[in-house]
Structure 1
Amino acid sequence: MLKKPLSAFLFIIIAAIAIPAAGLWLTEKETTQAPVQEEDPTVDVIRSDTQKTESVPLEEYVAGVVAAEMPASFEKEALKAQAVAARTFILTQTLKGMDVTDTVDDQVFKDEEDQKELWGADFETNKAKIEAAAQETEGEVLIYDGEPITAAFFSSGNGQTENAEEYWQSAEPYLISVASPWDAAAPNFEQEVVLTKQEVEEKLGVSLPGSGVVGAVIKKTTGGRIGSIAIDGKTFTGREIRETLGLPSADFQMTVSDADVVITTKGYGHGVGMSQYGANGMAKEGKDYQDIIAHYYPGTVISDAQTFLNR
């Protein structure tokens, strides 16, 4: 989590108390030569490979998240939107007192060595581009009603984002379903997953038909994903099916074909918040990161992280 920097003001007060009376006769020149500098905030990250906690400067951490969570080939304005979302996420976790890992359980983080391995010969170019995206949004976080938001994001959708309460059963006024037509350009927009019939039956605890479409959709979500579906007399949410079978998204259709179940899906991720491919599509159309943020997190405003760290 973020560590709050020592206040220069507090340091000066303590120092003044400790100074003997004779020391009070310092000249104005002497007292202004060496001002106390505030340290930059840092993030404590539990590294998955070592299980050790590393302290990383905040903006370096943000750049490392952008490097891991979004392709470096994306438009700069999309990278900047991701930087703001990443910074907001870590601030929210800090204010909650939560530990932070470098995995998808929180948000993926790659340090310089990881980035070299990821990008190879393109390391210097990609690093400069992503660091610029972090620096040009330095300190910026998203707030709603005066508090930092849950800045959810995902890879790509089915053309529409999802209401938070329809996936997580927890409503947020800024995590509501909005159109995301740019998702159709994502390489993972439509996918096909093939599982054995036996595996699906065992994981879901059902018996499947010999052929044909599996299940009857009871309800669709606002974002066009499976809200609930009945299979062999049992009712599941789309999220349950997605997570149990390891599907890319909760927008799916299952069909039995011989000994296999063929599952077609649209989008990749939970669908709540900012679509990364949608952000890139908006940037390609000339929208800046503030436009992207306003679209995917409606009603939020940009604020300064330091305001909350100093509380």
Structure 2
Amino acid sequence: MKEARVQVKVPLVPRPGMQESEENTVSVSGVGKDKLPPMHLRSVPPPDTRSSSPGGIKTEPELVPANELERTTTERTHVPVIELDQFRRVKHRRMRTFGRRRRWGRSSTRWQPAAAVSALLAMALLIPVILVWPRSDESAKPIPAPTDAVNTRTPVPTPAVPVTYPEPKVRVFLAATGTTMNLPLEDYVTGVVAAEMPAEFRLEALKAQAIAARTFIVRRLAASDTSGVPAGAADVTDTVSHQVFTPPDQVRADWIRLGKVKEWEKLQQAVRESKDTVMTYQGKAITASFFSTSNGYTENAEDVWGNAVPYLQSVDSPWDKNLAPGFKQTVTMKRSEILQKLNLDAIPVTSQKNGSWMEVLSTTKGHRIKEMQIAGETFSGPEVRKQLGLRSSQFSWRTTGDEVQITTYGYGHGVGMSQWGANGMAQEGHTATQILKHYYTGISFGQASKMLASK
């Protein structure tokens, strides 16, 4: 169905009595003139002459036939002027206003979430303020000013004065002369470190040795132990039965003569920096045993001396193998010499036939010989080491004719701290405290002079 299009033409300045023209006609597209009489737009008369409907309702312009329009042409006194340009401008302004309203509507929609978040933040800030706002009946009470400024002043604490204890004395029996030397504890430690550990060792290893030597003698002094001393007026000897000791004055003179001035200064530094420090276990000084070189492990105390000690347990010591010059040594003995040192008469015939006259029965946790059988008799590993004068209780042997070649690994009884192992740890950057805690399980540290103050 086609859409009907109506075209309205209105004169810009109508005058009374003007002739009817095509400009006043209303044409309808698609409709013949014979079917629809010509229609004209009749203007509404002025307010004083036009008729009103009942109730004061204004009437709208209406379409009337042409013959009726001719009769009323003379009666028309006013025709409104409609400017098309003005109509277009009004329409354009309305369209722009409508567009701005739509754009403003979209913009306000974008700002709605931000406005909601701002409102929530404002409420979150205001609610705590309202809750803690002081009530009108809870007026703040003024803090009274101090009446006496001297009483309110904070007293200055008096610095604590460290408690000092007198340095203990040690009486050393000198086996070479049969005399006794009485000297301060730190001088005794200096003489022990100089005699027990090479001066070329690292400083931290020397400090560990100083603490071990000090702990050994403090334990004896605290227990009033004079065992192994031939003369009753001494606390310890200068031999391997206790700790090897050289008088400090003699050490200083010998080392300066040999050009070892730096070594002497390093030795003094090690003793000075470890001064008065001892190892403790449950508040008491420990048995700080030490030895030269391990076979890669230290030994449990019960496997060497028969008594278990909680802080003398087997630990690994891998540094000795690469550092100690006497880690592995081989000695050759006659069969008869071995039998004589072990108080054995002869090798049984059965052992001679099968070639098993020496046999290992068991080993320790430290990989040393615990028990072995020689010529049908059973011995402990430490016992064989002592009787044969071997460097270690870990050894192997090979028999060639009447000769026996025995190869040992490590040097010493193996209980406690390995000196070459301590030097290896010091080379890796470990401190004296770390070295001692590695070789002595679960120990602490204490003050020697304090422990001996009551003696």
TM-score by length of 1: 0.84
**Are the counterparts in 2 of residues 242 and 250 from structure 1 also a CA contact under 8 Å?**
yes
Which residue identity lines up with residue 241 of structure 2 in the other structure? D
**Are the counterparts in 1 of residues 165 and 453 from structure 2 also a CA contact under 8 Å?**
no
Of residues 66, 69, 72, the one that matches 2:193 is 66
Counterpart in the other structure of 1:266: 409
Instruction: Report the CA distance between 1:254 and its aligned residue.
Output: 2.6
Instruction: Report the more deviating stretch, 258-267 or 276-285.
Output: 258-267
RMSD after superposition: 1.9
TM-aligned CA distance change 1:156 to 1:53, over 3 Å: same
Of residues 293, 300, 311, the one that matches 2:436 is 293
Where does the alignment leave 5 or more consecutive residues of structure 1 unmatched? Answer: 1-36
Counterpart in the other structure of 1:235: 378
Instruction: Report the CA distance between 1:251 and its aligned residue.
Output: 0.4
Which residue identity lines up with residue 251 of structure 1 in the other structure? Q
Counterpart in the other structure of 1:156: 293
Counterpart in the other structure of 1:95: 222
User: Could you tell me how far apart the structure 2 residues matched to 1:225 and 1:83 are?
Assistant: 28
**Are the counterparts in 1 of residues 165 and 449 from structure 2 also a CA contact under 8 Å?**
no
Which residue identity lines up with residue 240 of structure 2 in the other structure? V
Which residue identity lines up with residue 193 of structure 1 in the other structure? V
3-state SS, counterpart of residue 340 of structure 2: helix
**Are the counterparts in 1 of residues 165 and 450 from structure 2 also a CA contact under 8 Å?**
no
Deviations 1:49-85 (A, max 9, x none): 1111101111111011001000000010000000000
User: Could you tell me how far apart the structure 2 residues matched to 1:38 and 1:305 are?
Assistant: 9
User: Could you tell me how far apart the structure 2 residues matched to 1:171 and 1:38 are?
Assistant: 34
Which residue identity lines up with residue 270 of structure 2 in the other structure? A
User: Could you tell me how far apart the structure 2 residues matched to 1:169 and 1:119 are?
Assistant: 44
Instruction: Report the more deviating stretch, 246-255 or 282-291.
Output: 246-255
3-state SS, counterpart of residue 83 of structure 1: helix
User: Could you tell me how far apart the structure 1 residues matched to 2:206 and 2:219 are?
Assistant: 20
1:224 maps to 2:347: no
User: Could you tell me how far apart the structure 2 residues matched to 1:287 and 1:125 are?
Assistant: 22
Which residue identity lines up with residue 127 of structure 1 in the other structure? W
**Are the counterparts in 2 of residues 213 and 256 from structure 1 also a CA contact under 8 Å?**
no
3-state SS, counterpart of residue 60 of structure 1: helix
TM-aligned CA distance change 1:85 to 1:38, over 3 Å: closer
Counterpart in the other structure of 2:246: 110
Instruction: Report the CA distance between 1:148 and its aligned residue.
Output: 0.5
Q: Higher relative contact order at CA 8 Å, sep ≥6: structure 1 or structure 2?
A: 1
Deviations 1:97-124 (A, max 9, x none): 2230011000001123245446742342
Counterpart in the other structure of 2:17: none
User: Could you tell me how far apart the structure 2 residues matched to 1:234 and 1:205 are?
Assistant: 10
User: Could you tell me how far apart the structure 2 residues matched to 1:214 and 1:60 are?
Assistant: 51
TM-aligned CA distance change 1:210 to 1:103, over 3 Å: farther
User: Could you tell me how far apart the structure 2 residues matched to 1:267 and 1:121 are?
Assistant: 29
TM-aligned CA distance change 1:134 to 1:125, over 3 Å: same
**Are the counterparts in 2 of residues 158 and 251 from structure 1 also a CA contact under 8 Å?**
yes
Counterpart in the other structure of 2:325: 187
TM-aligned CA distance change 1:66 to 1:178, over 3 Å: same
Of residues 338, 342, 347, the one that matches 1:200 is 338
User: Could you tell me how far apart the structure 1 residues matched to 2:359 and 2:337 are?
Assistant: 20
3-state SS, counterpart of residue 50 of structure 1: coil
**Are the counterparts in 1 of residues 369 and 394 from structure 2 also a CA contact under 8 Å?**
yes
1:57 maps to 2:184: yes
TM-aligned CA distance change 1:87 to 1:199, over 3 Å: same
Instruction: Report the CA distance between 1:38 and its aligned residue.
Output: 6.5
TM-score by length of 2: 0.58
Which residue identity lines up with residue 398 of structure 2 in the other structure? T
3-state SS, counterpart of residue 181 of structure 1: coil
TM-aligned CA distance change 1:142 to 1:38, over 3 Å: closer
Counterpart in the other structure of 1:12: none
TM-aligned CA distance change 1:212 to 1:190, over 3 Å: farther
Which residue identity lines up with residue 83 of structure 1 in the other structure? A
User: Could you tell me how far apart the structure 1 residues matched to 2:328 and 2:444 are?
Assistant: 33
Which residue identity lines up with residue 158 of structure 1 in the other structure? N
Counterpart in the other structure of 1:275: 418
3-state SS, counterpart of residue 330 of structure 2: strand
Counterpart in the other structure of 2:83: none
User: Could you tell me how far apart the structure 2 residues matched to 1:274 and 1:94 are?
Assistant: 21
Instruction: Report the CA distance between 1:213 and its aligned residue.
Output: 6.7
Which residue identity lines up with residue 109 of structure 1 in the other structure? F
Task: Name the count of aligned residue pairs.
Answer: 275
3-state SS, counterpart of residue 143 of structure 1: strand
User: Could you tell me how far apart the structure 2 residues matched to 1:130 and 1:102 are?
Assistant: 19
User: Could you tell me how far apart the structure 1 residues matched to 2:353 and 2:267 are?
Assistant: 51
Counterpart in the other structure of 1:10: none
Q: Which has the larger radius of gyration?
A: 2
Which residue identity lines up with residue 187 of structure 1 in the other structure? P
**Are the counterparts in 2 of residues 211 and 256 from structure 1 also a CA contact under 8 Å?**
no
**Are the counterparts in 1 of residues 194 and 251 from structure 2 also a CA contact under 8 Å?**
no
Which residue identity lines up with residue 238 of structure 2 in the other structure? D
Which residue identity lines up with residue 266 of structure 1 in the other structure? Y
Instruction: Report the more deviating stretch, 235-244 or 55-64.
Output: 55-64
Instruction: Report the CA distance between 1:214 and its aligned residue.
Output: 5.1
Of residues 170, 178, 199, the one that matches 1:43 is 170
Which residue identity lines up with residue 425 of structure 2 in the other structure? M
